[in-house]
Amino acid sequence: MTRRWFGGSRRGALMTGHGIRVAACDVERTVGGRTVLRGVSLVAEAGEVSAIAGGSGSGKTTLLDTLAGIRPPSAGEVRHDGGRPDARGLGYVPQDDILHRALPLAHSLRYAAALRVPAGEGPADAVDRTLAALGLTERAGQRVGTLSGGERKRAGIAVELLTRPRVLFLDEPTSGLDPAAAAELMALLQALARAGTTVVLTTHAPADLARCDRVAFLAPDGRPAYVGDPRAMCAHFGVATDADVYAAVASRGASVDAGREPELQLEPELGALEPELEQSAGVGGPDPAAGSRAAEARPAPAKPAAVRRPGPARAAGRADHPLRQWSILARRDLELITRDRLTAAMLIGSPLVIVAMFAMLFRPGAFDPLAPSPSGAAMILFWIAFGGFFFGLTYGLLQICVELPIVRRERLTVLRIGPYLAAKFTVLLPILVLADVLLLAVLRGMNRLPAASWSVYGSLLVTLLLASAAALALGLLTSAAVTEVGQATLMLPLLCFPQVLFSGAFVPVPRMPAIGHTLSYAMTNRWAFEALGSDLDLSGRWAHSRSPLGPPLLASYGDSFDHSPLLGWAVLAGCAALFVAATCAVLARRCPRAGR
């Protein structure tokens, strides 16, 4: 079946030219103060499938990331064709899905292609070619979330093949697949390798090893227990099957050391490394004899005439421009919202429900000069401010955390954070404008707000929009910072409570103790509430109110509503900018560019 995908011109469609030789020499990696990889030396050749195997927690993913150049080694060296790893020339398939589940497969691939495929080949052509090559053409219109596990794995590989990478790294591509689907996927990777790509993968499954050309088996302490031909591995450990190797390595632990088995030492790999590493300071050269033994033992892979670095990023040619990225990402965000019915229902439904509740909660005429309700007017303005905050926060809260693995993958190559966040604002702000306009229009239409000039209502709308924008930025920041969707949901009440308590509506700011007074400065809701009160001259209304409650309220709130709305606008805009900057910083840390 796999052969069919790569037969004839389809094989040509996936030809990647020379694969990259990936070489590691004495690599060590320390994570969180603990050394999780030590003394790893290996070579992954073009045209071969190389596996990183080992028990859980032995460092397979860490080694894969290090070989890919995503994380630099703490000691030792990783070379791609003798040069520094350049992540833009490679494909990397993480364990998590890197396609949006709500989109049809072809659409998802088209956005990925628009971001990554260089000028010259149209994204649509690249998608058609890749879908055909991976046997997914018939699934093109199907939502990614409804694909089978095996199809989703292939779809993840399809994303990476769009740019015809010279080397493909895959983190546990067969996990979660039944043996037949796993075998099919491995055959696909073998075919890819034969078409010229270097394929490096991690695996838990002994059955996968038989389909690989090389294996590096890691001991629990991150040392290589075996590096070499998978067919010789059982003999090396004196066991009957590949599955038994796991138990042998686990029981012997660090005492199993590739370096202690003369006939299966690392020399072949180090010998292959020698030409690339000979000029590297601090890396000892291998025994020349070992290199020649290696050459005899294995046909020499086609070597580039000269040591060369991976070519410049193909992807950069097309979509590296921030404006272009923004336009692609905005279209993708819009389609995601419209395709995901639950999200669409939440975005449109929550303002409708909240506006309806406000309309039912407040009595009309709170601002009526003849029979005013001073406290009712304050409450109406507070809840309007809070409505704007709530809309923005809920819109932003789930935006990033649900697609973090995709962002992380796209950041490795092309994605810029600025256009990514700008696209979110471009799609969500217009919906927020509609929600805020609806809120003011309905409350005015139902006489919960007073008659006033267009300029006053314009000012109310600006205040509300800035409050929503700042809350949207806070929601995006939270979404970028949490590690899972559940945490984002838990953050909703945590973020809302202080905005209610310290806004000055229930306990006026002048009546708060010093700590509460200080905290209130950090609440966007306080500034929105006070700007709305200033717009509608709440102080003046209370001072000349026919209600006996007016003067005491004025005494409690003091000068809260006496400053210009411009002050509130400046603070809200500043908060929005601050939250956006913090979101950029969090994303840059959590989704680093390769090698950082």
Ligand X SMILES: Nc1ncnc2c1ncn2[C@@H]1O[C@H](COP(=O)(O)OP(=O)(O)OP(=O)(O)O)[C@@H](O)[C@H]1O
Count of residues in contact with ligand X, rule CB under 6 A: 12
Is 36 a binding residue for ligand X by CB under 6 A? The answer is yes
First to last CA, the chain: 40
d(CA 497, CA 130): 50
Torsion sign, CA atoms 339, 342, 343, 347: positive
Q: How far is the CB of 64 from ligand X (least distance, A)?
A: 8
Helix (H) or strand (E) holding 459: helix 454-481
* 228 interacts with ligand X by CB under 6 A: no
Among residues 215 and 505, whose Cβ is nearest to ligand X? Answer: 215
Closer to ligand X by Cβ: residue 204 or 590 = 204
**Residue 54 touches ligand X, criterion: CB under 6 A:** yes
CB atoms within 10 A of CB 406: 22
3-state SS of 101-116 is: CCCEHHHHHHHHHHHH
The beta strands (E) that lie in 452-501 are given as: none
- 254 is a contact residue toward ligand X (CB under 6 A): no
| By CB under 6 A, residue 58 contacts ligand X | yes
Phi-psi region of 200 (alpha: psi -120 to 50; beta: other; left: phi over 0): beta
Regarding 32 and contact with ligand X (CB under 6 A), the answer is yes
Looking at residues 182 to 211 of the shown chain, list those that interact with ligand X (rule: CB under 6 A): 204
Residue with smaller CB distance to ligand X, 95 or 447: 95
Is 220:247 a contact under the CB 8 Å cutoff?
Answer: no
**Residue 62 binds ligand X (CB under 6 A):** yes
The CB-of-62 to ligand X minimum distance in angstroms stands at 3
Using rule CB under 6 A, residue 251 touches ligand X: no
Distances (CA, A) of 20 to 196, 355, 489, 499: 9, 59, 44, 54
Q: Does 60 bind ligand X (CB under 6 A)?
A: yes
Pairwise CA distance, residues 570 & 551, whole Å:
29
State the DSSP code for 31: E
How many other CB atoms sit within 10 Å of the CB of residue 350? 16
Separation CA 462–CA 284 (nearest Å): 66
> Which residue from 3, 12, 17, 31 is in contact with ligand X, where contact means CB under 6 A?
31
Exactly one of 4, 9, 56, 323 binds ligand X (CB under 6 A); that residue is 56
Among 42, 49, 59, 587, binds ligand X (CB under 6 A): 59
Minimum CB separation of residue 23 from ligand X in Å reads 20
220 binds ligand X (CB under 6 A): no
Q: How far apart are CA 505 and CA 512, in angstroms?
A: 11
Scanning residues 64 to 103, which ones bind ligand X (CB under 6 A)?
none
Q: Which secondary-structure segment (H or E) carries 35?
A: strand 34-44
Binding ligand X (rule: CB under 6 A), the pick from 57, 83, 275, 430 is 57
- Residue 94 CB contacts under 8 Å (≥ 6 apart), including other chains: 171, 405, 408, 409
Q: What residues between 393 and 422 interact with ligand X by CB under 6 A?
A: none
Please choose, out of 28-36, 320-328, 396-404, 459-467, the segment that lies near ligand X by the rule CB under 6 A: 28-36
Which residues from 324-363 bind ligand X, rule CB under 6 A? none
Task: Decide: is 493 part of the binding site for ligand X (CB under 6 A).
Answer: no
Task: For 80, list phi and psi in degrees, rounded to 5.
Answer: -115, 110
Q: What tokens appear for 421 in the block?
A: 């966040």
Question: How far is residue 300 CA from its own chain's centroid?
Answer: 40
By CB under 6 A, tell whether 176 contacts ligand X.
no
| Shortest separation between residue 297's beta carbon and ligand X, angstroms | 28
Query: Which C-beta is closer to ligand X: that of 53 or that of 266?
Result: 53
**Residue of 30, 61, 447, 556 that binds ligand X (CB under 6 A):** 61
Cβ of residue 58: shortest distance to ligand X, in angstroms? Answer: 4
Residues that bind ligand X (CB under 6 A): 31-32, 36, 54, 56-62, 204
